[in-house]
Structure 1
Amino acid sequence: MLRLPSGFGPRQLQPASLDLTLGRRAWRVRAAFLPGAERTVADRLSGLALHELDLSRGAVLEKGCVYLIELREALSLPEGVSAGANPKSSTGRIDVFVRLVTDNGTAYERVPDGYEGPLYAEVSPRTFSVLVREGSTLNQLRLRRGDAFLSDAELRRVHEGRALSENGAIGGGLRLSVNLAGREAETVGYRARRHAGLIDVDRTGALDPADFWEPIAAPAEGFIVLDPDEFYILASRETLCVPPDLAAEMVAIDTELGAFRAHYAGFFDPGFGTGAPSRAVLEVRGYDAPFVLEHGQVAARLLYERLTGAPETVYGAGLGSNYQGQGLRLSKHFARG
C-alpha cells in the first residue's frame, strides 16, 4: 500500500497520518498545474519546468515562486482504499502553501483508490522564503477505506456523549469561531512581516518571533480588518477535542464563511485536545478586498471521521506533539517567550 524509502523512521508515524518527506529532485515551475487524467507529472514538467534543484545539498525556496518536488514515498493502493493529504501544522503556520500531486491527477490533495505511482508536493512559499532539504517534511497523508466522515446528526450524538467544544455548534461539521477578545494590550493574533528573513524548516525554536511577526492587540471595537493578501495567525474562541476513536480534518477553503481563507493545515489526529484544553490555530489570509473579522465570527469547520481501529498511541501521549494544549501559538520554528 505504501512504498517507503530507506531511512523511514517512526517519527514519520502519527496516530492517524503519515508524514511525507521531500526527495532529492525539485523543479522551479512556471505555474501550478494538475497533470490531467491522461498525463503524468513528468509529461507536464517537460513544458513547465524552469530549472532543477538538488535538495541533497539543501535549497532555498523563494517566496512568490512555485516548485514541484518529488517525495520519497510512493503509493500502491488496493481498490477501496483512497488517500488524502494536507500541509503539516508547522508548514501552514509559516504560510507555505503545499498540495499533493499525483500522476494522472485531476484534483489536488486526493489520491483515488487503486492508484499506483509516485507522489509529488507542489510548494509555494507565500510570505517567508524557506530552506528545505532532502528528508524535510512539509505535508502528511491519511489513508481512507470508503467514506468514514460523520454526518451532522452523528456528530451531534458524539457531542452529547463527549463534548467536542464548549458550544457544540454543528452545521456542515463542527463550527469554530475566532477569538479576538482579551485584556487591554493582550496579544490575540499575529500579522506576518513582509520582508523577514529565511526560515529553516528543520530547525526548532531557533527564530525570534519579533523578526517575523507583528503582534495584534485585542481590539477595543471587537473586530480587526484583514488586509488583502496579508497573512495572520489567530486562534479559535473554543477549545476542542478529537476523541481517541475519531480523527478530524479542517475545511481549508469555505467562501460561505467570509472573504478569507482559514487554516491551510487540515489534519487533527485522535487525542488532540483530550486531557489538555487546546484551541485550533487559524492561518488566515485575506482575499482581494479588506474584510472585517469580528470576535466570535465563524471562521472554520471541522469534519470528523471514524477510524478503522484504535491507535496504539494518541496525539500528545509521549509523541513529542508540538501543539497539544495550545492556545495562540506560532509554529515550532520560533522561540517561545
Structure 2
Amino acid sequence: MGVLADSAIREMIDNGAIRATVPVIDAQVQPASLDLRLGNRAWRVRASFLTGDQRTVHDRLSEFEMHQIDLTDGAVLEKGCVYVVPLMESLDLPDDVQAVANAKSSTGRLDLLTRTITDGGTEFDRIPSGYTGPLYAEICPRSFSVLVRPGMRLNQIRFRRGQAVLTDKELTQLHLNSPLVDGPAVIDQGLGFSVDLIPAKGDLVGYRAKPHTGVIDLDRIGAYDPAEYWEPIHTKDGRIILDPGAFYILVSREAVHIPPDFAAEMAPYLAMVGEFRVHYAGFFDPGFGHANAGGEGSRGVLEVRCHEAPFVLEHGQVVGRLVYERMECQPDRIYGADLKSNYQGQGLKLSKHFKA
C-alpha cells in the first residue's frame, strides 16, 4: 500500500497500464510520478469545464470549442484564455490503482494553471481506480502568455494503492525519528508551514508578477530577465499586503525534509485564515531537502494569489500544510541524488526560465 515508485511506474508502462502515442522516455519517470506530455493540438474553449458522469471530453469540446490550434511548430497560449490539450499519455489502470495529477513546479511558478481532466470526470486532477481512457490538460495562463510545443511537460501524475496518507499521530512519530522541519513541527491534518517575511539577509521577501509582459517560451531555460516580468517585494516590518487578483512568489519559513521512503503533497490551508490560494504545484518527491540526497532542508516556494479583498500577510503566519504519504517502496532514484533537480536546497527562487 502506498504511492508507487519509479520502478512500479516503469512496470505499468511495460504492461500497458500507461500508454502513449509516442514512447515514454526515461526522463519522464520521476521518483514518485510521471511527467505528462502535450500533444499536437489545442482547443481554445469558452470556459473551464468538467466532463461529468458518462460523458467524454471530446463530446464537451463540441459545446465549448472556439477554435483549434496546431502546436506542431509552437503556438502561443494567451494570458486569460482557457485551452484543452490532449496528452500523449493515456491510462488503463488496474482496479486497485488510482491516480492524482498536479502541475510541475516550474509551471506553478509561472502562474500557469494546469489541471488534468478525463472522460467521465467529476473532479480535476483525480483519476479513479480502473480508469481506462485518454488524459487532457486544461491550461489557463494567468500572469504570462506562454509559447508551447508538443512534448512539453507541464503536469505530472502519481499513482497509489490503498490508503497512503499518514495520520497526525504517525506524522508526529516520523518527525521524532527523522525531523521533517528545522524547527518545531505544527502538525494538524498534515505538517503546517508558514511564510517567511523576515529574511536572514536583506529585506527581499518575494516577487509580484507584472501585469503587461512579453511571451515566455517554456523551452528557454535561464533566458529571461526577472526585472521584465517581476516586481521585487521588500519589507522591513515583516508584513505585506496582498492585492486582489495579483500573483506572488514567496517562500516558507521552514526548511522541509522528505525522507526517501515518503512523498508529500502541498495542500492549501483552511479558507478561514485568509482569502488567498497558496499553491498550484504541490508534489514533493522522496528525498526533497533530505541530507541523503544532498540537501540540508529546502524551503517550500509559495505560489500565492489573493482573491476577494486586500489581505495583510505577516511573518510566521501559517499558510498551508504538507500531507505526507508512504511510498509503496523506496524509489530507485531519489530527488537530488543523481537527478537534474532544479530546486534542491532552494530558498526564494523563481522558475528555471529566469536568470539567477
Contact 1:281 1:327 survives alignment (8 Å): yes
CA distance in 2, matches of 1:184, 1:313: 34
CA distance in 1, matches of 2:318, 2:32: 27
For the pair 1:328 / 2:348, whether they are aligned, the reply is yes
Contact 2:203 2:236 survives alignment (8 Å): no
Q: Among residues 292, 301, 307, which one is paired with 2:312 in the alignment?
A: 292
Q: Among residues 333, 339, 346, which one is paired with 1:313 in the alignment?
A: 333
In structure 1, give the amino acid aligned to 2:276. Answer: F
Contact 2:269 2:319 survives alignment (8 Å): no
For the pair 1:81 / 2:97, whether they are aligned, the reply is yes
Q: Among residues 40, 52, 68, which one is paired with 2:68 in the alignment?
A: 52
CA distance in 2, matches of 1:18, 1:9: 10
In structure 1, give the amino acid aligned to 2:193. Answer: L
Does the residue aligned with 2:72 lie in a helix, a strand or coil?
A: helix
User: Which structure 2 residues correspond to residues 272-283 of structure 1 after superposition, within 5 A?
Assistant: 272-275=288-291, 276=295, 277-283=297-303
For the pair 1:264 / 2:284, whether they are aligned, the reply is no
Q: Among residues 137, 149, 160, which one is paired with 1:144 in the alignment?
A: 160
User: Which structure 2 residues correspond to residues 36-185 of structure 1 after superposition, within 5 A?
Assistant: 36-165=52-181, 166-182=183-199, 185=202
1:245 equivalent in structure 2? 261
Shift in Å at residue 4 of structure 1?
Answer: 2.7
CA distance in 1, matches of 2:141, 2:219: 15
Contact 2:172 2:187 survives alignment (8 Å): yes
CA distance in 1, matches of 2:154, 2:25: 16
**Comparing 131-140 and 256-265, the one that deviates more:** 256-265
Shift in Å at residue 55 of structure 1?
Answer: 1.0
Question: Over residues 35-85 of structure 1, what are the superposed CA-to-partner deviations in whole Å (9 max), with x where a residue is unaligned?
Answer: 000210011000100000111111100000000000000000010100000
Contact 2:269 2:321 survives alignment (8 Å): no
CA distance in 2, matches of 1:184, 1:3: 49
Contact 1:254 1:261 survives alignment (8 Å): no
Shift in Å at residue 167 of structure 1?
Answer: 1.6
In structure 2, give the amino acid aligned to 1:249. Answer: E
CA distance in 1, matches of 2:305, 2:214: 20
In structure 1, give the amino acid aligned to 2:307. Answer: Y
In structure 2, give the amino acid aligned to 1:189. Answer: G
For the pair 1:15 / 2:67, whether they are aligned, the reply is no
Q: 1:24/1:180 Cα in 2 relative to 1: closer, same or farther (>3 Å)?
A: same
CA distance in 1, matches of 2:43, 2:90: 18
Does the residue aligned with 1:272 lie in a helix, a strand or coil?
A: coil
Shift in Å at residue 172 of structure 1?
Answer: 1.0
CA distance in 2, matches of 1:222, 1:136: 38
CA distance in 2, matches of 1:56, 1:39: 28
For the pair 1:205 / 2:222, whether they are aligned, the reply is yes
Q: 1:253/1:86 Cα in 2 relative to 1: closer, same or farther (>3 Å)?
A: farther
CA distance in 1, matches of 2:201, 2:262: 38
CA RMSD of aligned residues (A): 1.1
Q: Among residues 225, 229, 237, which one is paired with 2:241 in the alignment?
A: 225
Question: Over residues 223-249 of structure 1, what are the superposed CA-to-partner deviations in whole Å (9 max), with x where a residue is unaligned?
Answer: 100000000000000001100000000
Contact 1:257 1:300 survives alignment (8 Å): no
In structure 1, give the amino acid aligned to 2:310. Answer: P
CA distance in 2, matches of 1:243, 1:173: 15
TM-score after normalising by structure 1: 0.97
CA distance in 1, matches of 2:230, 2:221: 17
CA distance in 2, matches of 1:89, 1:253: 19
Moved over 6 A (4+): none
Contact 1:130 1:198 survives alignment (8 Å): yes
Question: Over residues 182-204 of structure 1, what are the superposed CA-to-partner deviations in whole Å (9 max), with x where a residue is unaligned?
Answer: 36853110011110111111211
1:32 equivalent in structure 2? 48
Shift in Å at residue 11 of structure 1?
Answer: 1.0
- Ranges in structure 2 where 5+ consecutive residues have no aligned partner: 1-16
Shift in Å at residue 253 of structure 1?
Answer: 6.3
CA distance in 1, matches of 2:310, 2:74: 38
Shift in Å at residue 256 of structure 1?
Answer: 3.4
Question: Over residues 142-180 of structure 1, what are the superposed CA-to-partner deviations in whole Å (9 max), with x where a residue is unaligned?
Answer: 001111010111100100100001221111100000000
CA distance in 2, matches of 1:282, 1:5: 34
TM-score after normalising by structure 2: 0.92
